[in-house]
Amino acid sequence: MGFSFSLIPTREIPVDINKIIGRVQNILLTPKTEWPVIANEPATVADLYKNYIAIVAAIPIIAQFIKGSLIGYGAFGITVRTPIGSGLVAAVIGYALSLGVVYLMSLIIDALAPNFGGQKNQVQALKVAAYAWTASWIAGIGVIVPWLGWLIALAGFAYAIYLMFIGLPETMKCPPEKSAGYTAVSVILGIVLSWIVAIVVGGIAGTGALMNAASFNGSADSVTIDKDSPLGKLGAWSKKMESAGKQMEAAQKSGDADAQSKAMGAIVGAALGGGDAVEALAPDQLKPFVPETLAGLKRSDFSAERSGAMGLQVSTAQATYSGDDGKSLHLEVTDTGSAKGLMGIASWAAVQNDRETDHGYEKTYKQDGRLVHEEWNNQDKHGEFSIVLGNRFTVKVSGNADSIDQLKAAVASLNLAGLEALKAHGVKNG
């Protein structure tokens, strides 16, 4: 790949798992105080790989293998698993390429340093690439979670950008006012690298929208960020993260376990909720959006619940509609509540996917400002159609039908405007 390095240190140092766990917790929860510590630590490229990168970078690879080969992916009413052998080969290749991308990313960060008033230092650049990307590696576990898993991964990517933004001034000694431009250029080039890796491993990456995240005016030294672009919106989001981060730092210094628990909830809520605390709709508030009949079928069962932890809440209402001919549809209305920030990030990034098979298709796209996902299998006439409203609510109808148009019509017959009008309900601005 055009570079070489040794992962074997000059002396054997046993890997300290507790130290790795502590570093992960600190860089994610108290990055402002952790980055100065990281910047002043003596290290070598080999030691960083052996004692941190090689361990943490394996987390999403293992999660992907578990999901793909052991749990499987559900689509069109069936579950598909990658053969164990093929899954292991993809895992090994993906792991090796991930390690290489981290190194290449550090070369980019190091090379760009003088353009943004920073100081070139290969080891410090590798620290930035490794520790900032920790958020994305940890969020990679989300691939195991149905439906919202990809949003968790996206949130990890967003938080990694924030970590790089506040870490560059400490490690590469760039002026704080130039950190945004430095981050923008580094991230864009990093996206290209990750996209290449995804193709090699066999994944699907939709990165075109983020490639327009920054607006380049003249030299790299004068990079500006469009406030309405994905990175611009993430920049605004990061300011709210700072406030939650300061709360966590104060709680840790106080030694008060209760305060630390509340601060933990605040920072997680800021990350998932886009900087806002959100109280999800109560079950009785969701019930009006689950009608007695749907597409001519009568409702045969109904359930609604609100669950949460650490101050984070999500509400879901579900119903099954059955007919005398054996046909049935399933409706699911979800208030992502405290995770609405993930929906916003997905919308900013204009996440999209378009895949066809011999038996049907699957695609994700934006329509009238709303994120839409649809699947259809021509063989068994089964599919699903879902839509995101107000960057907060998801409405999904799945089941057997004559065509995908019937599922679309079923969703369109619901009171979508009324549900979307509640997007600010329970939101406590950060």
- Answer yes or no: is pLDDT of 262 > 70: no
Instruction: Indicate the pairing of strand 427-428 with strand 353-356.
Output: unpaired
Predicted confidence band of residue 91 (pLDDT cuts 50, 70, 90) = confident
Query: So what's the pLDDT on residue 319?
Result: 94
- Minimal CA–CA distance to 116: which of 126, 104, 125? 125
Query: So what's the pLDDT on residue 408?
Result: 96
- Poorest-pLDDT segment among 133-142, 153-162, 192-201: 192-201
Query: So what's the pLDDT on residue 128?
Result: 95
What is the rounded average pLDDT for all residues in the chain? 75
Q: Where are the alpha helices (DSSP H) in 172-289?
A: 179-201, 230-254, 257-273, 283-286
Question: What percent of the chain is predicted at pLDDT more than 70?
Answer: 63
Best mean pLDDT range from 186-190, 222-226, 276-280, 294-298: 294-298
- Answer yes or no: is pLDDT of 2 > 60: no
- In this predicted model, which residue has the larger pLDDT, 370 or 240? 370
Whole-angstrom distance, CA of residue 375 vs CA of residue 107:
41
- In this predicted model, which residue has the larger pLDDT, 415 or 10? 415
Average pLDDT on 283-296 reads: 94
Instruction: Indicate the pairing of strand 328-335 with strand 312-322.
Output: antiparallel
Q: Do residues 23 and 101 make contact, with C-beta atoms less than 8 angstroms apart?
A: no
Average pLDDT on 29-48 reads: 92
- In this predicted model, which residue has the larger pLDDT, 282 or 355? 282
Query: So what's the pLDDT on residue 288?
Result: 94
Whole-angstrom distance, CA of residue 365 vs CA of residue 427:
27
CA atoms within 13 A on the CB side of 73: 13
Instruction: Indicate the pairing of strand 297-309 with strand 73-75.
Output: unpaired
- Answer yes or no: is pLDDT of 221 > 50: no
- In this predicted model, which residue has the larger pLDDT, 93 or 159? 159
Predicted confidence band of residue 285 (pLDDT cuts 50, 70, 90) = very high
- Answer yes or no: is pLDDT of 216 > 60: no
Q: Domain residue spans in the chain?
A: 17-273, 283-428
pLDDT digit string, tens, across residues 366-379: 888 788 889 999 98
Q: Which residues contact 263 (CB under 8 A, 6 or more apart)?
A: 244, 247, 248, 250, 251, 252
- Poorest-pLDDT segment among 172-181, 276-285, 324-333: 276-285
Strands, E, within 249-359: which ranges?
A: 277-278, 293-294, 297-309, 312-322, 328-335, 353-356
Query: So what's the pLDDT on residue 13?
Result: 45
- Poorest-pLDDT segment among 77-86, 215-224, 257-266: 215-224
For 18-77, give the DSSP string: HHHHHHHHHHHH-HHHHHHHHHHS---HHHHIIIIIHHHTHHHHHHHHIIIIII-EEETT
- In this predicted model, which residue has the larger pLDDT, 250 or 355? 355
- Answer yes or no: is pLDDT of 136 > 60: yes
Q: What pTM was estimated for this model as a whole?
A: 0.49
- Poorest-pLDDT segment among 25-29, 225-229, 414-418: 225-229
Q: Give 224's DSSP letter.
A: B
Q: Cα 127 from chain centroid?
A: 22
Query: So what's the pLDDT on residue 335?
Result: 86
pLDDT digit string, tens, across residues 295-308: 999 999 999 988 76
Query: So what's the pLDDT on residue 370?
Result: 83
Query: So what's the pLDDT on residue 293?
Result: 95
Q: Which residues contact 292 (CB under 8 A, 6 or more apart)?
A: 298, 299
- Minimal CA–CA distance to 188: which of 105, 111, 121, 132? 105
- In this predicted model, which residue has the larger pLDDT, 312 or 186? 186
